[in-house]
Structure 1
């Protein structure tokens, strides 16, 4: 007699039963030949599974799968897990599936709208009204907007180590801004010039521009066009939303992650850094702009607003250029105990070293950090010899430096630029650092090819060229 056949589908729902009779199945269940029943075993506990007796003994006699009384089998409980596992080992022909259907966590969008009577809905009457209502609805908290909070772990809140901001000063600035906006709304000439866009406008604070405009144009256009003073706009931006924009850019570039191990700060103090090029032009440092090593070969001019009697610390570091330890930095400049904004009067702990990004390492971040001191600090442990051209002594950690003096100073300003190799880096390695210049090259992994087939189907005509032993170049393969 042939070995009995048991087909089962295993799913993760505990407490179910497997039912079936020889040659007879319930509605919706598959019918198998030779009178064996197809059972679906539900549950993890094997003692809860029911196995047809006919499935273990073979087809019923006298019917070959008929539905008579002799062909029916009685259900018996499986007494041991080993017998059921042996039956399942013979053959598993039905696929196992796990499906879970659950109701939504809340009301779905537009669930309260009666689609059978759309004429009764309120009309928007204009696109502006529709847009306002749509924006209002989009700002409301919805249950489906919090899906990512349940599916992905939330990052830990970052520690804010920035300077406390004067709230009274912020309220005063808001009042001044409202006053200026109110005056601009009441200016009829400015409104007409902005609406008609026909006039050449001269700002009252820039009377010298009147000499540059031809008199015929001034006679033709009686209106005044609005010239925006960009210096005043930038100064206002630095006081209001500028520090938050700088913080977002620094977070995007990974500055807080690499220097302060996840802590963050808002740069309330505007730090202006400019490199002079032979007294002809200046190369400013903003927030991620590109400056070449040759342009940054000499110490820059640094300025910021500071109260009289305050003390500051200026730091320049490179977190991307260490040649031996990826977690360390190179210290390029450190000036401490600066009275006010006079950099030359401060104590130079480590003199300025030009940038030296190695060839093949891409762009490096060179970060200027400005710390405000609460009192004079003793930095004798951080002093480097003069001159210091040893990379081992230049090894630095901003995180450890700040942790050592965090009780007496707070980060207040930030500026950084990006820099990559040029010809001046070779001179820095050979003349200043007195070492051979390291050169890096990206080693690409070999192109993967699957094992060669004896009869390749649906492959290009030059399929065999992929498996040549020679270095002869091939074309049109990949």
Structure 2
């Protein structure tokens, strides 16, 4: 398209100036001549006539390692990453791990333990019989416990990255949640908080029961915030619950700095994220500056930023646990705005403009039979049936 435009401009210019068109076309061809690349092109070293001679990867780890080396290798051409880094210098910058130290278990030890378990299972006659008869039952609680101790923290971190939790709460930082939070809004298992599941504001209208494994004598801080809910500032959050200096795992025995407020996603704004963050304290902390009035029904007082709160106490606390859910508007949100927050309920909706019709003509030519229905005052259209 660009070459066609250049040629057309050149021909038009040559005609206007009275110059021979052949000379103009020759000049255009010279200007559009391809320039030799400044270096080797991708896959130039591959002999396409003999693909069988190429070295095979043989394993995914080897392929992944070579792909990472090729991705990080500097090329002579300008890549997509170069354009993005020029527009956003912080894009792709290395994030800081602000969580508890993560001790990766020995891979050799894991393989030995796994082989030992497989040998014991192969020698177990009852287990083999149950498996053959399809009556083998596996304890899901044991599977959950094993997952939490092995790959659970990494999976939760990936989910948090997928939902943008670290991006909005801890810019340029992350952590691996090594303490599992068990949050339930009822006695049933269908109202538990996991990692992105959906709960209605009616189900989360009261403070949940929270449990986590804690050492005796340890202190914790529990935070519930929403990065999507603020009505005036896109960068701010609303604080829904804050409890500090929790002894062990007894949340009720902690110092309640801001009482629980149920979710109130505004109507027409879709799903909002509600994030629980558990911090492990090094010592008792004075939260005098973070104390909210009780009861706190002012959204101005509940305006909050997790990153500022963490920076203030980062020497004495470390994020250790994470859980979050999503919620959207239902009828209980109206009650929260009117009776709890004492304010009008904001409603965000798209008002469709009326359908435009050109002015009606007395003698419509070549118009469909239902032409008059456009200008009929009745609610029910006849669509040409008279």
TM-score of the superposed pair, with normalisation by structure 1: 0.61
1:200 matched to 2:130? The reply is yes
Tell me by how many angstroms 1:400 deviates.
Answer: 1.5
Q: Quick one: structure 1 residues 99 and 319, their matched pair in 2 at CA, closer, same or farther if it must change by over 3 Å?
A: farther
Tell me by how many angstroms 1:383 deviates.
Answer: 1.0
What is the distance in 2 between the residues matched to 1:184 and 1:162? 32
1:393 matched to 2:301? The reply is yes
Superposed, which structure 2 residues align to 1:103-114 within 5 Å?
103=37, 105-106=39-40, 109=43, 111-113=45-47
Of the candidates 164, 169, 185, which is equivalent to residue 101 of structure 2? 164
| Structure (1/2) with the larger helix percentage | 2
Tell me by how many angstroms 1:98 deviates.
Answer: 4.0
Equivalent position of 1:182 in the other structure: 115
What is the distance in 2 between the residues matched to 1:474 and 1:308? 77
What is the distance in 1 between the residues matched to 2:134 and 2:83? 58
- Structure possessing the higher relative contact order (Cα contacts under 8 Å, 6 or more residues apart): 2
Equivalent position of 1:270 in the other structure: 180
SS in 2 for 1:382: coil
What is the distance in 2 between the residues matched to 1:107 and 1:324? 51
Query: Quick check: 2:57–2:63 contact (8 Å CA) kept in 1?
Result: no
Equivalent position of 1:371 in the other structure: 279
Of the candidates 243, 254, 262, which is equivalent to residue 354 of structure 1? 262
Q: Quick one: structure 1 residues 240 and 414, their matched pair in 2 at CA, closer, same or farther if it must change by over 3 Å?
A: same
Q: Quick one: structure 1 residues 447 and 103, their matched pair in 2 at CA, closer, same or farther if it must change by over 3 Å?
A: farther
Query: Quick check: 1:193–1:226 contact (8 Å CA) kept in 2?
Result: no
Query: Quick check: 2:204–2:263 contact (8 Å CA) kept in 1?
Result: yes
SS in 2 for 1:132: coil
Equivalent position of 1:18 in the other structure: none
Q: Quick one: structure 1 residues 263 and 474, their matched pair in 2 at CA, closer, same or farther if it must change by over 3 Å?
A: farther
What is the distance in 2 between the residues matched to 1:114 and 1:436? 70
Q: Quick one: structure 1 residues 98 and 304, their matched pair in 2 at CA, closer, same or farther if it must change by over 3 Å?
A: farther
SS in 1 for 2:315: coil
SS in 2 for 1:376: coil
What is the distance in 1 between the residues matched to 2:318 and 2:356? 52
What is the distance in 1 between the residues matched to 2:136 and 2:38? 55
What is the distance in 1 between the residues matched to 2:229 and 2:179? 27
Of the candidates 229, 233, 238, which is equivalent to residue 148 of structure 2? 238
Equivalent position of 1:84 in the other structure: none
Tell me by how many angstroms 1:38 deviates.
Answer: 4.9
Q: Quick one: structure 1 residues 156 and 37, their matched pair in 2 at CA, closer, same or farther if it must change by over 3 Å?
A: same
Q: CA RMSD in A?
A: 4.4
Query: Quick check: 1:193–1:225 contact (8 Å CA) kept in 2?
Result: no
Q: Quick one: structure 1 residues 295 and 134, their matched pair in 2 at CA, closer, same or farther if it must change by over 3 Å?
A: closer
Q: Quick one: structure 1 residues 416 and 245, their matched pair in 2 at CA, closer, same or farther if it must change by over 3 Å?
A: same
Of the candidates 182, 186, 211, which is equivalent to residue 303 of structure 1? 211
Tell me by how many angstroms 1:409 deviates.
Answer: 1.0
Q: Quick one: structure 1 residues 178 and 145, their matched pair in 2 at CA, closer, same or farther if it must change by over 3 Å?
A: closer
Tell me by how many angstroms 1:150 deviates.
Answer: 4.2
Of the candidates 319, 322, 327, which is equivalent to residue 230 of structure 2? 322
Equivalent position of 1:344 in the other structure: 252
SS in 1 for 2:256: strand
1:140 matched to 2:54? The reply is no
Tell me by how many angstroms 1:314 deviates.
Answer: 0.3
What is the distance in 1 between the residues matched to 2:382 and 2:273? 40
Query: Quick check: 1:189–1:224 contact (8 Å CA) kept in 2?
Result: no
Query: Quick check: 1:9–1:39 contact (8 Å CA) kept in 2?
Result: no
Tell me by how many angstroms 1:134 deviates.
Answer: 8.6
Q: Which has the higher mean CA deviation after the structures are superposed, 374-383 or 153-162?
A: 153-162
What is the distance in 2 between the residues matched to 1:433 and 1:122? 72
User: CA-to-partner distance for each residue in 1:36-62, whole Å, 9 max, x for gaps?
Assistant: 48546999xxxxxxxxxxxxxxxxxxx
What is the distance in 1 between the residues matched to 2:236 and 2:223? 15
What is the distance in 1 between the residues matched to 2:227 and 2:158? 19
What is the distance in 2 between the residues matched to 1:343 and 1:39? 86
Equivalent position of 1:54 in the other structure: none
Equivalent position of 2:5 in the other structure: none
Superposed, which structure 2 residues align to 1:250-261 within 5 Å?
250-261=160-171
TM-score of the superposed pair, with normalisation by structure 2: 0.75
SS in 1 for 2:210: strand
What is the distance in 2 between the residues matched to 1:368 and 1:35? 76
Of the candidates 312, 320, 327, which is equivalent to residue 419 of structure 1? 327
